[in-house]
A and B are shown apart, each in its own frame.
Chain A
Amino acid sequence: MITKVPILELKNLKVTIGDKEVLKDLNLTVNKGEIHAIMGPNGSGKSTFSKVIAGHPSYDILSGDILFNGKSILSLEPDQRSHLGIFLAFQYPIEIPGVSNEEFLELIYNSKLEAENKEVKTLSTDFFNLLNEKLKLLDISEDFIWRNVNEGFSGGEKKRNEILQMMLLDSELSILDEIDSGLDIDALKIISNGINSFMNPDKAIILITHYQRLLDYVKPTYVHVIQNGKIIKTGNADLAKELELKGYDWLKEIN
């Protein structure tokens, strides 16, 4: 029997934005080596969930706790949470005019080294070797890194850029918010292969998605359904298939 080691624990989490309650008594434990899929109708709180873990300043935590490797991270700023190993792939990655992707990727790579008190070098061979390896893995052409961050990128390119950053940061917990939206089938395969090759028994991944399609390529350990800021159903990969067929309404009835 393998002992389960939790990376992320959400305990009775109550969250508001303004005076609206967006997460209500949410409980979830994600252990090392697990992939969790979060599904649910629009506006159910999926994106909120990811932003709250990453520390977005708009949300107020009313009660409950978020533990990362056993320690509360509620008082930590988003950049500190990132340095601990929490990564969020955004549904809509922002564009940064005038800043080359190379400059940005190197900066995030070095920011992590700095946070770990490691030696930081500009234009280090370590960085470029790692970058080139990951570019190949994600089938990204080299000119991509000399363009401005996400500026004029296609939807697929933006998503690949998110996965590339996840790989460079080698994050322990990665939350991928609708990483599959706007992807054609080839891009979906490439990104899924990337995620699978990145995953290992010391990491955990949370996939937020609307579609079963992604889960054909990246096998989840658990599937959760969020509705009205609560997890209303948890199951294995088969639950996603059931949802694909039936939608979400049948869950309302049983609750």
Chain B
Amino acid sequence: MTDQPNNTDVEKFVNQPYKYGFSTNIENDNIAKGLNEDIIRLISKKKNEPAFLLKFRLKAYKKWKKMKFPEWGQLQFPEIDFQDIIYYSAPKQTKKLESLDDVDPELLKTFEKLGIPLTEQKRLSNVAVDAIFDSASIGTTYKEELAKMNIVFTSLSEAAQEYPELIQKYLGKVVPIGDNYFSTLNSAVFTDGSFCYIPENVKCPYELSTYFRINEPKSGQYERTLIIAAENSQVSYLEGCTAPQYDDNQVHAAVVELIALDNADIKYSTVQNWYTGDYKSRGGIQNLVTKRGLCSGTNSKISWTQVETGSSVTWKYPSCLLVGDNSQGEFYSVSFTKDYQQADTGSKMIHVGKNSRSKIIAKGICAGNSRNTYRGAVSVNAKALGARNYSQCDSLLMGNSTNSNTFPFISVRNPTTKIEHEATTTTVGEEQIFYFLQRGISLEKAIGLIVSGFCQEVFTKLPLEFSVEADQLLRLKLEGTVG
């Protein structure tokens, strides 16, 4: 990859095959390729949606048709032919699923292979999982236990049937129809996703988790997640993602909306491991995601943690609108790119409430010929007296062909604000590696230790069960011998 003698060893270890590249052979209910009003009506009909949702979709589609593909990112990828995508693909089911026992064993096997067992005997303790396969939710674990506490955790399709008033009230409240190109597309064609409602004064005892799997080669995944934490409630939510290895690009344009009312606390974590494309930049998921949280209540808190290791292209900026007084927004990110992966990611913190506080810790690890960009905005409104922000962006470069950028944007409209920004760039150098080797530590372990040390601050923010997993995932991505 590079002619220089140093770092070749390092690069050797960042080239290993994707572990989740298998596909599941299952009969799918696919609709025809292409995007038009009829397709949208068909999706809505397949999901038996209430009329307001169809209206929502059509309104979005009209706006989207007038919008332009955003070109401001530090990203280069071929134009997406939106007419060449299947917008609805779901495993064929002959009857309505009453419980997870009715799910096709092939699907259960798929999720088990991914490390997400769904059946009652095997399900993860303390983690309630909603498993989404292409466009449809397969099932949710711990449903009864959650229902006892009046916690709603279900697929968005089911929620549209059972809690239409909540959906109508909150969907599109944080990411309005027409917000940006990809979110608007999502608003028109979203197929499934998770819905959570944590009632007042309830601290959810389980980690809520959605696992996304794209299987169908020609489909995209347009899921939509909506989480509402009522007054004094608390929830921690985690999403994981994988996809089979195909030579064609696949689009993943998701929207996530979080709403935290007075004193509510939402922690949202992502471990993203979509297929990255191969070392020649063929195939891979284009991960074009809009995630935004609204801290509408006083003392509310939203915390985003992301570990982004997959996808050929990543375009996402989990953000917080800090409207409530004393509200808090946090963003902790590890973004790892290798080969020809491109990531343009960061966060936006918009301060409106008095004494609102935000913190951004972004760690980029850039190897091979990849591009890794941090793009962030901190904006403090005139009314946000006493607002504070701390941002830290660190880049770790491995190899000599990497491209790493940082674009922080700060806008402050009142004099009582305190903003701090720190940034560092370091390389995994020959001398560092030599130090480890001299102490008898193998190259693999050395790189693993350097990288996990670099990410420590972010990993500790993940739920305990997943912090170890994220560390392992990253080491797996680094090591040549495992997997």
User: A-side interface residues toward B, CB under 8 Å?
Assistant: 51, 54-58, 77-79, 81-83, 87-88, 90, 93-94, 96-99, 103-104, 107-108, 111-112, 115, 148, 165, 169
Contacts and interface: CB of A to CB of B under 8 A. Distances in A.
A165 B430 contact: no
Nearest to B454: A98
Contacts of B450: 96, 99
Contacts of A77: 437
Given A77-B437, A111-B439, 8 more contacts: A90-B435, A93-B435, A98-B455, A99-B452, A99-B456, A104-B449, A108-B439, A169-B439
Interface string B446-465: 00011011111100000000
Contact of A98 (B5, B431, B442, B452): B452
A209 to B, nearest CB: 19
Given A57-B430, A78-B434, A90-B435, A99 B453 contact: yes
Interface string B1-24: 000011000000000000000000
A48 to B, nearest CB: 13
B26 interface: no
B440 A97 contact: no
Interface residues of B, number: 23
Nearest to A87: B438
Interface centre among B432, B437, B442, B445 (most CB of A within 10 A): B437
A165 B439 contact: yes
Interface in B158-175: none
Interface centre among B439, B440, B445, B452 (most CB of A within 10 A): B440
B441 interface: yes
Contacts of A81: 438
Contacts of A103: 449
A111 B440 contact: yes
A82 B435 contact: no
Contact of B434 (A56, A98, A115, A148): A56
Contacts of A96: 432, 449-450, 453
A93 B438 CA distance: 11
Contact of B431 (A88, A94, A97, A112): A94
Contacts of B456: 97-99
Nearest to B424: A97
A83 B453 CA distance: 24
A77 B454 CA distance: 26
A108 B439 CA distance: 6
A58 B4 CA distance: 11
Nearest to A84: B440
A93 B6 CA distance: 19
A83 B442 CA distance: 11
Contacts of B437: 55, 77-79, 82
